[in-house]
Structure 1
């Protein structure tokens, strides 16, 4: 792989990582910061702030892992560095 391809690969990898980390931070800290407002909404007898802390954030984190894995597989194949 040429130096330009390697730099392009790492640039795409870094950009993807930044997007995933921004979403993670928003879900982690954003839900905590607005939990007072979220608690006014009730789902199945539980305030939404509690639900987001107990279940919602975990679901988002799982979806982020799946998204990151699939996207990195695509990037790896694009640059010919996929694992067998």
Structure 2
């Protein structure tokens, strides 16, 4: 049995930030998020700074973007909340 893949969703803010990216950067972001769906605590991601401190608030760097996201392990969902590009 293969490990569960998480569904990726974007907040309204992250959706607008993704739409503002150049096509190549957007494609790279999408590919990175697909990889993250298989390993939401991997890919060099780190616990996001701030409060509250929790392992489920994460940040990951891709070549053209930094993504702040939340892991909802109980429902296998990753929510990207902020994309800096």
Larger radius of gyration between Structure 1 and Structure 2: 1
TM-score relative to the length of structure 2: 0.30
Higher strand share: 2
- Kindly indicate whether structure 1 or structure 2 has the higher relative contact order, using CA contacts under 8 Å at least 6 residues apart: 2
Q: Which protein has the bigger helix share?
A: 1
Q: State TM-score, norm by structure 1.
A: 0.30
